[in-house]
Amino acid sequence: MKILIILNDAPYGSERTYNGLRLAGSLVKQADVELKVFLIGDAAAAAARDQKVPTGHYNVEVMLKTVGRGGGEVGVCGSCMDARGLKGEMLADGCHRSTMEELATWTLGADRVLVF
């Protein structure tokens, strides 16, 4: 099954991105699941490399790496990156600069689209 998760919210301050990534982390471990995650709007900041968070607090960079290590793919909206001053070299491992065209392709190819 092909699943696309689209995340919209900032990585911290709301739990939407966190909960979407929790689900992504569980889905990527499932047999026969092809997972793609697209970060758009404020969620683009979730892909920032070298995040420092308080001890005991979740780290969305680590969660995104889990998706990549599990065979999932993580795209980050290029326009959203530009608006937030994020450069490609600033992205966490396993994340890539993406486009609306790629999101459209992923959406059309997905069996399920989940939006957080």
Query: To 10 degrees, what angle do helices 60-69 and 16-27 make?
Result: 20
Q: In sequence order, what E strands does the chain have?
A: 2-7, 34-39, 73-77, 95-98, 112-115
**pTM assigned to the model:** 0.96
Structure confidence by residue, pLDDT tens digits, 46-80: 999 999 998 888 999 999 999 999 999 999 999 99
The CATH number for 2-115, chosen from 3.40.50.300, 3.40.50.2000, 3.40.1260.10, 3.40.30.10, is: 3.40.1260.10
Residue range 15-49, pLDDT digits in tens:
999 999 999 999 999 999 999 999 999 999 999 99
Which pLDDT belongs to residue 54? 87
